[in-house]
Amino acid sequence: MKQKSDQVEGKDDIILAGKGLCKGFPGVWEHLILDHIDIDVKAGEIHALLGENGAGKTVIANCLSGFYTLSEGQIYVKGKPVTLKSPGDGIRHGIGMVHQELALVKPFTVAQNIALGLSTSDLSFPLPEVENRVRELSENYRLYIDPLARVEDLSAGEQQRAEIIKVLYHDPEILILDEPTSLISADAEHLFEALNNMAKMGYGILFITHKIEEALAVGDRVTILRLGKSMGTRETAKTDKTELVKLMFGEHTPAQLERKPVKSNNIVLDVENLEALAANEEPALQGVSFFIREGEILGFAGISGNGQSELAEVITGMRRATKGQVIIHGKDYTNHAPREIIRAGVAHIPEKRRAMGVIEPMTAAENVVLKDIRLSPFSKGSFLNKSQITRHTKEIVSRFGALVSDLWKSQTRILSGGNIQRLILGRETWRMPRCLVAVYPTQGLDAKAIDHTWELFMRLREEGSSILLVSEDLDEIMALSDRIAVMSKGRIVGIFEGGEAKREEIGLMIATGASKA
Amino acid sequence: MNLAYLWGIFLGSLHAMVPITLTATGEVIGESAGLFNIGLEGIILLSAMTGALGAEAAGPSVGFLVGLGTGFAIGLIFGLVCTYFKGVQLIAGVGINLFSAGLVTFWLIHLGVPGHHAVAEESQMVNISTRYGDFSPMIFVAIALPVLIYILLFRTKLGLKIRAVGENPQAADVAGINIHLLRLLSTAAGASLAGLAGAYISVNWLGSVTKEISAGRGFIALATVVFSGLNPLLVLLGGFIFGFFDNLAVWVATMPAVQKVIPWQFVAMAPYAVTLLVVTGVIGRARFPAAMGIPYGRE
């Protein structure tokens, strides 16, 4: 290992800086993805970059590491202006990036993955040296990994260690980590310790996260990003959670939502002892039972990946239940086709809005009537009634404030995530569905759009819709839900009445996965 | 049926194996890098033509080089379309097949006898005569190449890089590899082997060019690649199996006893039917690069 400590004179050596960074993607005209961002990382510090999903954190990281090219602005390494045209350029300037979607070739071993990035001759076979060096790095940084293990056989935490070792192999001086704890929430302490060690050795570390606690725990300074704009940089010692929340979300105080108690005792959605497998054939749901009454919102809290997505998919007919029942208005709809479930009055705001919510190459109008296309007045026989569709789409677009330039011309692909979500919300709720399954409905939306969505949900509730709300945002769950279910490892570990629920108690349960005593 | 008879079938199978093994070995390189070239059939056909012309102009060795070069050139065009220009691989491949079929048909008319052109005896490559029979030198090339390509793909860093751009181009990109260039060169190198196969057919094996000279061998090579699961050593085995049936069909069809009972067209179907069976039996078990067929772009 190269000795880095001699390079650290004072703690104020800026080794990586970006000035006026701008990035716009072709076709995304609503706002710049990055809007004149200034950021710098000093040797020996951990600089946290904090923001919501869609704030532009990953884009900054990709620009600073050379994966994306900048639209405008200048990057400086140790005070010298540099132009990064590819990740290779980044590596040559000592910038190593650990991607959120790990950049590992799955069928390869750890050593093979590392060998890929070496500058040795193409006809060489450097694996033996790589294996030794990985063992050495593993030891030095206490990031234990078997160089001969195949990446696809490793756990998420191990894969991440492999990724970090891969980046360290190139002897970088600057390390960028993009949401490194999203895969390893349980193992985060271990990672923080390793990062602190590295900072002490003189690395400059840019740590990207959307979790305020993490930014405060691990960062020396924190820069807050909101919708592509920098909201300023703070020293973590001189700031606190309240200030960061304000900077991150704007002046969005969770509205005090008026609500009457649930009147009805009619059960709309009844789920009994549901079991299902995840995509990797592991059990995703294990004996999940709950019910939702007419005019009731049941919120599902929990860290994503604990079965919430699979639950929503099973209810809406997109994933097979291996056991148990889904009963809608007294009728068994277990493993029925999605179309039948839609007909039964279940609307769905899916988790992956671009992949599941819309057909990206189709136009806004086509997407808005996607589910009603067989019905009058939108079609007659085999033919579309374009004027009716236009009228209907216009109404939804204006009611939900979506920014769409041309209903029939522009592909949905070019719309921002927020605008796509507005179209989906409109499509799924205009009929006042009897039951709405909403998965992360406000993720990545700005404060105003979140308020609108919440009001919409409350109005639906008043009208008698039952809503199954999945969210990672505890404030959202607390504000909207009549009852709150906590999911952990495919089970419901507790159900609270909204009024009596204590934030801390739920938070603890989410974190530990332990059931209510 | 005596031993010499069986040895004859074996020898014929070896010769029939050559074009399929060469083409499939090349395609293994391309598919490992993530490019699926359905235009191999057209490359074989066109190179059979250009190879024959090259051989007649300057001798059989030049004919082989011209075939190789034709494959490389077409592979470059295909690769450019499918990497830098993010074209659809299937369409580009079909384009190659249509282009070649048209051009060769036209050229054969231009040469005099429509539909058929015999390569002059003195322009053909001479087989090596031994007391065990005549061997084309290309048989040894077709056996050695899969071994060399196996070493390249699995025992060198270049091989790692080629497989990485096919499996996870983003990871390869992050590792500083030029995705487009490597994919382009891989598919072009692969296509040049299909070109070599074409030249072998016209300049050495069959000694003539017809507009059906490739006879589906490009597609059978694609099937062989599936059979091999991108392992060049298995390509050798697969190539021999298909070569065996290809040769057997000709043999059986020309036997007077069979000719009277079964129309030769049915016997000629055998290699294709076997292909279909083997491939349907194998598909689903073999593992292909995750990013095969998908153009790569960063943003």
What pLDDT, on a 0 to 100 scale, did the predictor assign at position A257?
67
Interchain proximity B173–A86, CB inside 8 Å: yes
Q: Is residue B1 part of a domain?
A: no
Strands (DSSP E) contained in A304-352 are 321-328, 331-332, 346-349
Q: So what's the pLDDT on residue B176?
A: 84
Same-domain pairing of A228 and A299: no
Assigned domain for A264 exists:
no
Is A370 found in the same domain as A488? yes
What's the farthest any 2 CA atoms get from each other in chain A?
A: 78
Q: What is the pLDDT of residue A2?
A: 40
Under an 8 A CB cutoff, do B287 and A107 touch? yes
Reported as type and span, the H/E element at residue A38 is strand A34-42
Residue B228 lies in a domain: no
Number of domains forming the structure of chain A? 2
Percent of chain B with pLDDT over 90: 63
**Are A312 and A243 in the same domain?**
no
Asked whether the predicted pLDDT for residue A54 surpasses 70, the reply is: no
* Residue B296 predicted with pLDDT over 90: no
- Do A354 and A466 have their domain in common? yes
Alpha carbon distance A251, A371 (integer Å): 36
Residue A30 has pLDDT above 50, yes or no: no
Alpha-carbon distances of B127 from B41, B205, B211, rounded to whole Å: 25, 9, 25
Whole-number CA gyration radius for chain B: 19
A158 by DSSP, 3-state: which? Answer: helix
ipTM of this model?
A: 0.84
The domain containing residue B147 runs over which residues? 7-214
pLDDT tens for residues B111-156? 877 778 899 888 998 899 988 889 999 999 999 999 999 999 999 9
Mean pLDDT of A295-301: 93
Q: Nearest CB to B174: which of A87, A112, A126?
A: A87
Check if B285 contacts A (Cβ < 8 Å).
Answer: no
In a domain, A259, yes or no: no
CA-CA distances (angstroms) from residue B37 to A387, B41, B101, B154, B237? 45, 9, 16, 22, 21
- Would strands A221-226 and A229-235 be described as parallel, antiparallel, or unpaired? antiparallel
Q: How confident is the model at residue A331 (pLDDT cuts 50, 70, 90)?
A: very high
User: How many contacts, defined by CB atoms under 8 Å, are there between A and B?
Assistant: 76
Residues A231 and A298 placed together within one structural domain of the fold: no
DSSP 3-state assignment of A434? coil
Q: What crossing angle do the helices spanning B232-253 and B270-282 adopt, rounded to 10°?
A: 150
Using CA atoms, how far apart are residues A493 and A513, in angstroms rounded to an integer? 7
CB-based contact A125 B298, cutoff 8 Å: no
- For residue A100, is it within any domain? yes
Same domain, A494 and A345: yes
Range of the domain at A186: 5-249
Does residue A475 or residue B164 have the better pLDDT? B164
Residue B157 is nearest to which of A91, A113, A125, comparing CB atoms? Answer: A125
> Which residue, chain included where needed, has tokens 């279940």?
A346
How far is CA A38 from each of CA A41, A207, A215, A232, rounded to the nearest angstrom?
Answer: 11, 16, 18, 9
Q: Between these two residues, A471 and B193, which has the higher pLDDT value? A: B193
Number of domains comprising chain B: 1
Lookup: tokens for B4: 């010499």
pLDDT at A221 over 60: yes
Asked if A101 lies within 8 A of B167 by C-beta distance, the reply is no
Q: Does any domain span residue B199? A: yes
Q: Look at residue A207 and tell me if it is in a domain.
A: yes
Query: Per the domain annotation, does A263 fall within a domain?
Result: no
The arithmetic mean of pLDDT across residues A134-140, rounded, is 90
Within a domain: B226 = no
Whether residue A275 lies inside any domain: the answer is: no
- Yes or no: say if B221 and B40 are a contact pair by the CB < 8 Å rule: yes
What mean pLDDT, rounded, does chain A reach?
A: 86
Distance from CA of B61 to the nearest CA of A (A): 28
In a domain? residue A49: yes
- Express each pLDDT in A381-435 by its tens digit: 888 899 999 999 999 988 887 777 788 887 888 777 778 888 999 999 998 899 9
Is B240 part of any domain? no
pLDDT at A354: 85
Q: What pLDDT was estimated at residue A400?
A: 83
Query: Would you state the pLDDT for residue A329?
Result: 92
Tell me the pLDDT band of A28, cut-offs 50, 70 and 90.
very low
CATH number at residue A476: 3.40.50.300
| Total count of residues recorded for chain B | 299
> Could you say which of B156, B167, B299 has the minimum Cβ distance to residue A105?
B167
Tell me, yes or no, whether A466 and A395 share the same domain.
yes
Q: Do β-strands A46-51 and A229-235 pair in parallel, antiparallel, or remain unpaired?
A: unpaired
B269, part of any domain:
no
Integer angstrom CA distances of residue B256 from A478, B249, B251, B252, B264: 87, 13, 10, 9, 11
Same domain? For A353 and A465 the reply is: yes
Taking an 8 Å cut-off on Cβ atoms, the answer to whether B157 and A103 are in contact is no
Q: What is residue B94's predicted lDDT score, i.e. its pLDDT?
A: 96
Name the residue in chain B with its Cα closest to that of A166. Answer: B175
In a domain, B235, yes or no: no
| Residue A371 reports pLDDT greater than 80 | yes
A197 plus A288 within the same structural domain:
no
pLDDT at A3 over 80: no
Kindly report, residue by residue over A238-258, the tens digit of the pLDDT: 998 888 878 887 665 555 567
The span from the CA of A395 to the CA of A381, in Å, is: 24
CB–CB of A117 and B175 under 8 A? yes
- The CA distance from B296 to the nearest CA of chain A, in Å, is 13
Q: Tell if the CB–CB gap between B171 and A103 is shorter than 8 Å.
A: yes
B35 or A186, which is more confident: B35
Q: What is the pTM of this model?
A: 0.71
Question: Residue A489 contacts by C-beta under 8 Å, 6 or more apart in sequence?
Answer: A286, A306, A307, A513
Is residue B62, in this structure, part of any structural domain at all? yes
Over the stretch A85-118, which tens digit does the pLDDT of each residue have? 888 899 899 999 998 777 899 999 999 999 998 8
